[in-house]
Structure 1
Amino acid sequence: MLAILSTTPAVHSSAELYEPAAAVTAPYPTAGGVARRSTGGGGATRRRRGPWAVVPQAQPGPSVVLLYHIEKTGGSAVMKWLKRQTHAPSRLAAVYSYSQTSCFFALHADLFPGMEPRWRDKLCGGAAPLDWRSSKVAVEFHSYSKGFFLRSVLPALGALKRRYAEANGTVVAVTSIREPASHLLSKYRMWPPRTADRTHAVPLPAWLASGEAHSLQSRALLSERPALPGCEGLTEARARLGQFDVVGVTHCLRPLLAAIEERLGLPHDPARTGAALAAYHRPQHWGGAIGREASEWTASRLNATGRRLLGDATRCDESLYSDALRRQPPPLETKESVKTLCQPPAAAAQWRIWQSIPRAAENTTLMSEAIGSG
C-alpha cells in the first residue's frame, strides 16, 4: 500500500461512520464475462491468463490500438473484445497483453530505445517481428506497464502517429473512466487493504478516513503517485486524459468499442461485440475470509459521515469523470435501445450509489443525462 497523505480526520469510531446493515447486498455489478482466473486469498485457485493472440497473416492498413487499462474500469472487457478480433475472419493481427509490451516496442525499437524492445518468439508468437507497415495490432498497458505508457509512449505518441500516418495508417489511444464512487467501492472489494497483522480487511470507513482511497483514477493517470492535499495534480490528470483519442465510460462500453472500429476503418460488428461482452465476467471480490469481510461494505451501509468521507475521497475524480462523460462516444444508431447498449443494471446500480454522496450540480446533470435517474 502506498503511503498517502490524508486530507480527512484519521480517527472515527465505527458507530460514527456507518450503520449496521439489515442485509448484505450483492457486490456492485460491472460489465464483462467469464472469469479468467480467481483472485485473492482464502486458498482460491488461480488459472493462467491467456495473454495474447497472433494471426500469421498481413493486415491491410497498418494501425495500433494503445489501451490504457485503469484497474476496475472495464479494460478487461475491452481486451476480451480486442482478442475476439483475431478470430477468423481476423481483423487484428496481434493483441499483446500488458506482460508483452516488449513485443510492441520491438516493432518500433528506434522510438523506444529504453523500453527493452526485444522480440522473443515464445512471448511474441512468432520467430520474427511482424511488419508494422502491414499489421493491425493492439497492446494493453495495465498494472505495472501503465508506467511504461506514461513515461515512454506518451512522449513519443506524436512521432508514432506521424509514422503511421505516412503509411496511411492510424494510432488510437484508448482509455475508460468509471463513476468514482462505484470505482472506489469495486477496487476496495477486489483488493481490500489489510490490517497490520494482515488477518482482516480494513473497514471501508477507516480506509476512507485514512486518505489512501483519495483520487484513485486521477492518480492512475499520474503514475500512481500518492494523493496530494486538495486536488493538486488534477489539472495534470485531466490534461493526460485529453491526450487519448477515444475516452469511454465503464457503464457504456459498446459505443467505445464502436468508436475503435470506426477509427480503424472497420465495419461495425455487433455480433463480435455482443459475444465479447456477454462472455466476460470478472470476479468481483477478493477470495477467502478477507474477501467476505470486504464484500459486506456497500454505499448504503455508510451513514451520513461515511458518505461525506466517500464524497471527499472521490471529489477530485469527479472532474475527470465529467470530462469522460462529455467525451464518451455517442450511442450507436441501431435497432438496440440506448438502455441495452449502456447496460442498465450496472448503470442503475451506479446511479443509486452516486445519489448517496454529495455531488456538484454540474456532475449531477451530466450523470442524469448519461444514464437516467432510475
Structure 2
Amino acid sequence: MSAPRPRPERPALLLVISRRRRFTRHVLDRPDIDTVLLCPETSTVEVPDGRPAFRLRAGVPAEEEAARYRRWLFDLGLPRPAFFCNPDEAAQPLAHRFAAAAGLPHLSPRQVRLVTDKVAMKELFAAADLPAARFRPVTSATEVKEFADRHGWPVIVKPAVSGSAVDTWKVDADRLAAIDLTLRSRPDRRWIAEEYVRGTEHQLCALVHEGKVQDAYIAVNPAPILDTLEGAVNGDITLAPSEPEPVDGRAVAQRITDALDLRTGYLHGEFFIRDDGSFVMGEIAARPGGAELPTSHGLSRGFDMLAAVADVYVGRRPELTYTRDRSVGELLLPTRPGVVTDISSLAELLALPGVVCGELTAAVGDRLDPPRASNAASGHVHIEGENSGVVRERMAEVLSRFRLEVA
C-alpha cells in the first residue's frame, strides 16, 4: 500500500485593500488561500470585517516598512505571504515598492511607470506595435491650441497620471480660457493634450500566467467613458463568446504582455474602434478591471472569473471552463448631489427584464456628493441578453424605470 500523498501547502497572499469589494470578499472567503491584508495609509476603504491589516505608511523607506511588516506578522501569528496582489490603481507605486522590499512578486519601477503614466503608455504601445492616439505634453492653453491646430478640435486634456477620468476634459476652442486656468492652477501636475478619437470605446481584460495570456475578454461601452461625465449611459457590456470581436483581443493582450514583460496578473485596457473601422489603443493597467467588469465577464461565460483572477495571483493556471454563451453588462446607476428622499429598491430593479444581480450603495437619508469621475454611481446592476445589442436596450429600460430623488 503506497503512502498517502502530502497535501499541498496553502498559498498565502498579501492583498491590498481596494474599492473592488466583491473581489476582496471572494479572496477572504477562499478556504484554499491564506490572505493577509495591506492597507496604504492613503486609502479610504474600510477594512472588511475588522480583520487585521498592515497599515503601510507613505513617507517611510520601504525597507523600514518591510521590517515592521515582518514583526507585525510574527506578533499576530499570521502566515508569511509569498504572493502579492494590488487592485488599487492609486497605490501602484507605493504598494509595489513595498512588495519589492518585502521579497514579494511585484512590478518593477519601469513596469509601474508604463502602466500608470499616460506618456509612458505611448512608449509601451509603440513597443507592442499598437497604434495609439496622438498627443503632446502641455502646460498652457497656447500649447493646447497649437496641438488642436495640427490635429483638430476637440482635444482631450488630462493629467499624465490619473484614473476614472478625474480631471479629464474634452476641450473646444471656446473652452481654452477655462482649461488654461486649470493647467496654471495645478503646476504640480503633468498634463497632456490628446487627439479626440471618434468611434466606439471598448474594454479589454486578460489573465496572464507565466507570461502567456490564458484568455482575453472584450466589452463595449454604450457611450465613451468621458461622455458619461455629462450624463451618457455609464456601463460596459461584455460581448457574448459567439459575438464577433472588433479585434483579436488575445493577440493584442499578448503583445502588451510581452512589451511589458508581465509574468503573471491581470491586464485591463481600453481601446477604440474609429468610425472608419481602424483600431486605436487607449490606456492600460496591470490590475483587476474597474468596478464589476470581471463579474460581467464571468456571468457572460458561466464561470467563476474572480476565482480565476485570484488563482493567477497565487501562481496557479486558472481553470477556464465556460458553460454559458451570453452577453452581460454592468450598468452604473445615476447619482447626483443632495439628500436622498426616494430611490428604487433592488427588488424593483431585479424584476426588470434581464437584470440578474446588483447592489445599491445609496439609501434614503444619505447625503450624496459624487465626484466628477467615471465611477460615481448610486449602485449598479448586471443585465444579461443573448447579445450586446439586447443588453444595451435593456439598460435603457432600466434607466427609464430607475428612480432617484434628492432634496
TM-score, L = length of structure 1 = 0.27
Larger Rg, first or second structure (1 or 2): 2
Which has the larger share of strand? 2
TM-score, L = length of structure 2 = 0.25
